Amino acid sequence: MADAFSLQDVLDSFKSSLSDNKEVFIKYYISGWRELVSFMNSLGSVFSFISKDAVNKIQILENLLMGENGTHYLTVQSMVKYELDNELVDLAKRSSHPESGCRTLLRLHRALRWLQLFLESLRTSTEDSKTSVMCSEAYNASLSPHHPWIIRKAAGMAFCALPSRNAFFEVMNAGSDQEVITLLGEALPLISEVHQITEDLYAKNNLLDLP
């Protein structure tokens, strides 16, 4: 099946997203997210409120990339420069640019931190580790402080519906448990690097709290 999820594809997308001079190509960044969303959809409809929001944000970025100013959206670096230079970002509160590329990508960027933490704890987990616990610990350390109570509540309920560690390893479609663990070990430094580059760029430009 051509469109079946594989962890390898996610890894490949994030790998392609890094340019030689360490810029992040938006095209591959969002294709990595698309893979992750298709994976999440395969886990059941409890997660659809999460994947809908992710798809919405992926779509906003894709529209910018495909739009008339698309050349400015080649990399996260060029997007930040273009939107700031042209005052296309709401810095203090949402007003005339509620869906800027910068604020939209920031939401995915925070979610990437969740992914990094979650995959790291999956990688180092043992057979009796609980995915719901790993997931909510990762969530509490990343996205949760940015979410209102109602979303935190809904997320917590969704986490309880996560498949077991064994089932999780299976759907990752990357071979034996040991092979999954090896692949996770390769994927994580890459995901961390993409995350760190974006984090530094956003910090330097004071963009980490965009409304």
Positions touching ligand 1PZ (CB under 6 A) are: 36, 39-40, 43, 47, 49-50, 53-54, 107, 110-111, 114, 135, 139, 143, 151, 155, 162
Distance in Å, CB of 79 to ligand 1PZ, minimum: 17
Distance in Å, CB of 104 to ligand 1PZ, minimum: 8
Distance in Å, CB of 191 to ligand 1PZ, minimum: 12
Whose Cβ is closer to ligand 1PZ: residue 135's or residue 201's? 135
Distance in Å, CB of 20 to ligand 1PZ, minimum: 28
Short-list 112, 136, 138, 123, CA closest to 168: 123
- Compute the distance between CA of residue 110 and CA of residue 92 in angstroms, rounded to an integer: 19
Whose Cβ is closer to ligand 1PZ: residue 36's or residue 80's? 36
Whose Cβ is closer to ligand 1PZ: residue 71's or residue 170's? 170
The tokens for 40 are 């999440």
Whose Cβ is closer to ligand 1PZ: residue 22's or residue 170's? 170
Q: Which residues contact 1 (CB under 8 A, 6 or more apart)?
A: none
Give the distance from CA 84 to its chain's centroid: 23
Whose Cβ is closer to ligand 1PZ: residue 39's or residue 202's? 39
Whose Cβ is closer to ligand 1PZ: residue 21's or residue 96's? 96
Q: What is the distance between the terminal CA atoms of the chain, rounded to a whole angstrom? A: 40
Question: DSSP assignment, residue 126?
Answer: -
Cα angle 30, 115, 18; round to 5: 45
Distance in Å, CB of 202 to ligand 1PZ, minimum: 15
DSSP H helices in 42-148: 48-66, 76-85, 101-123, 131-140
Distance in Å, CB of 21 to ligand 1PZ, minimum: 28
Q: Buried b vs exposed e over 186-198: b needs ≥16 C-beta within 10 Å?
A: ebbebbbbbbebb
